[in-house]
A and B are shown apart, each in its own frame.
Chain A
Amino acid sequence: MKKIYCFLLVSVVCASGYGQFNGFSVTGGIGTFALSDLKTYQDALVSRLPFEARQFAYFPAYTNLRINLFKESSSGLEYGFVFAFSTTGTHANYTDYSGSLNLDQRVAAYQGGVSLSYPLLLSGNREKGFGLSAYGDLRLAFVRNNVSSVINTLYYFESNELNLSALSPMSELGLQALVHFNKISTGLEGGYLLDFNRKFSTGDQSAFDPSFSLRPSGDIRSGMSGFRIGLKVIFKILPTISEELN
């Protein structure tokens, strides 16, 4: 449901601002995540399990998506709205002939805000050439962590779920190296996302009387900070001011 709200929000922003913007960009790649509190929390959860489950990846580098709707000024400065999505997680499992036990955390951060990009270097021109620019975002993120445990045997089944959520300001700074074609630019984008680490609020467990609790014993902070890198494609919708002047 929250994804639908986000989609509607981005759609409204796009629709209302379409006539004013020069283009939009999509960056798909991966990000690393600090998430130190959630790692500690996962360790605490694993220690509560009735069996010695094996802990697999701890919030590894995973999907990161950034969409930018921008307007370009005559100086090459680009400013506009940005939407970003990041996800990662962790997983522990125990399996024997009688059944299996899974313990998962799945973190997703939906981020919306404003962006600014400034050209540092341009070889050729914006219709055909190579450019290097710096960018910065200020975003507000809705970070949701879905914690779930499932015990599945032939005659016993238990499923428990707990949602943690936080609204956290974030900022990303980075560089873009782009090759410009006529209406499309493409290249690499990379930077560092700083999360201001707001505290998660904890929901209720879905199971009435679970065999072990998923509730955290203390405060947990979001901690999505990390490096981001991805492949970027820019679609220029309307002529830029520099094109109009020419």
Chain B
Amino acid sequence: MKNIFTVFLLIFLFSSSCYYSDPSTYEVEIVSDYNPSVEVLSNLGIHDSVAILDSLLFEYMISIDTGRLYFADLYIGNLLIYRSESLSDSIWIDPYYITVPGDYTLTMLAYYKSYSESLADLYNAEFIVYDTAWTLKFYNEISR
């Protein structure tokens, strides 16, 4: 009796590994020649650094020829301070974003559509990143 149940148990355990499975893949090579020129214009211009005593209105405009912007992130140091899906936008930058006065890098990462026609691109999940940066000098420290 015990042997029968053992055999049945083994057969059932074994049968689950018998379910059909096929790991075959069809690999497609995609070569994208999409390489647009990207430019970011801002009111900070080409200054080496910008001093902030109180607060600063930062305005920017992104231009991508024949492209589509997903979103742009603004960082002060490693701190994400703003995300926008607009090609042109503005934000007030003030010393609340920092704890210690000094030089900080304001970085903009612009994510735009790759147009590679890959699987991820079709689902708007593949992007190219354009980055640009400015140096900010904070003078005021305002405790939080």
Question: Which residues in A have some Cβ–Cβ distance to B below 8 Å?
Answer: 3, 6-7, 10-11, 14-15, 18, 24, 26, 50-51, 53-54, 56-57, 62-63, 65, 67, 85, 87-91, 93-101, 104, 106-108, 151, 153-156, 158, 211, 235, 237
What is the CA–CA distance of A62 and B22 in the complex, to the nearest angstrom?
A: 12
Question: Are A18 and B28 interface neighbours, CB within 8 A?
Answer: no
What is the CA–CA distance of A26 and B11 in the complex, to the nearest angstrom?
A: 9
What is the CA–CA distance of A96 and B12 in the complex, to the nearest angstrom?
A: 37
Question: Are B123 and A211 interface neighbours, CB within 8 A?
Answer: yes
What is the CA–CA distance of A101 and B119 in the complex, to the nearest angstrom?
A: 8
Closest-CB distance, A154 to chain B (whole angstroms)? 7
B143 on the A face (CB < 8 A)? no
Closest-CB distance, A2 to chain B (whole angstroms)? 11
Question: Are A56 and B11 interface neighbours, CB within 8 A?
Answer: no
CB-CB under 8 A from A51, the residues of chain B are 28, 119, 122
CB-CB under 8 A from B5, the residues of chain A are 11, 14
> Could you show 12 A-B contacts with beta carbons less than 8 Å apart?
A6-B12, A7-B8, A56-B26, A87-B20, A88-B20, A89-B21, A94-B28, A97-B118, A99-B118, A108-B19, A154-B126, A155-B126
What is the CA–CA distance of A14 and B11 in the complex, to the nearest angstrom?
A: 14
**B93-132 residues at the A interface, CB under 8 angstroms:** 116, 118-126
**B38-96 residues at the A interface, CB under 8 angstroms:** none
CB-CB under 8 A from A54, the residues of chain B are 24, 26
Question: Are B120 and A93 interface neighbours, CB within 8 A?
Answer: no
Closest-CB distance, B32 to chain A (whole angstroms)? 10
Number of A-B contacts (CB under 8 A): 114
Question: Are B1 and A95 interface neighbours, CB within 8 A?
Answer: no
User: Given A14-B5, A62-B18, A99-B120, 5 more contacts at CB 8 Å?
Assistant: A7-B9, A63-B15, A87-B19, A151-B123, A237-B4
What is the CA–CA distance of A205 and B9 in the complex, to the nearest angstrom?
A: 32
CB-CB nearest in chain B for A157: B125
Q: In terms of DSSP, what is the predominant structure of the interface of chain B?
A: loop
Give the residue of B1, B19, B120 whose beta carbon is less than 8 angstroms from that of A18. Answer: B1
Question: Which residues in B have some Cβ–Cβ distance to A below 8 Å?
Answer: 1, 4-5, 7-9, 11-12, 15-16, 18-22, 24-30, 116, 118-126
Question: Are A10 and B8 interface neighbours, CB within 8 A?
Answer: yes
Question: Are B25 and A107 interface neighbours, CB within 8 A?
Answer: no
CB-CB nearest in chain A for B12: A7
CB-CB under 8 A from A99, the residues of chain B are 118-120
CB-CB nearest in chain B for A88: B20
CB-CB under 8 A from B11, the residues of chain A are 26, 65, 67
Closest-CB distance, A104 to chain B (whole angstroms)? 8
CB-CB under 8 A from B120, the residues of chain A are 98-99, 153-156
Give the residue of A65, A96, A151, A155 whose beta carbon is less than 8 angstroms from that of B18. Answer: A65
What is the CA–CA distance of A108 and B11 in the complex, to the nearest angstrom?
A: 15
Question: Are B28 and A106 interface neighbours, CB within 8 A?
Answer: no
Which of B16, B28, B124 is packed against the most chain A CB atoms within 10 Å?
B28
Question: Are A50 and B20 interface neighbours, CB within 8 A?
Answer: no
CB-CB under 8 A from B9, the residues of chain A are 7
Question: Are A96 and B29 interface neighbours, CB within 8 A?
Answer: yes
CB-CB under 8 A from B29, the residues of chain A are 96-97
What is the CA–CA distance of A81 and B116 in the complex, to the nearest angstrom?
A: 59
Closest-CB distance, B2 to chain A (whole angstroms)? 11
Give the residue of B7, B8, B122, B126 whose beta carbon is less than 8 angstroms from that of A50. Answer: B122
Question: Are A98 and B118 interface neighbours, CB within 8 A?
Answer: yes
Closest-CB distance, B73 to chain A (whole angstroms)? 15
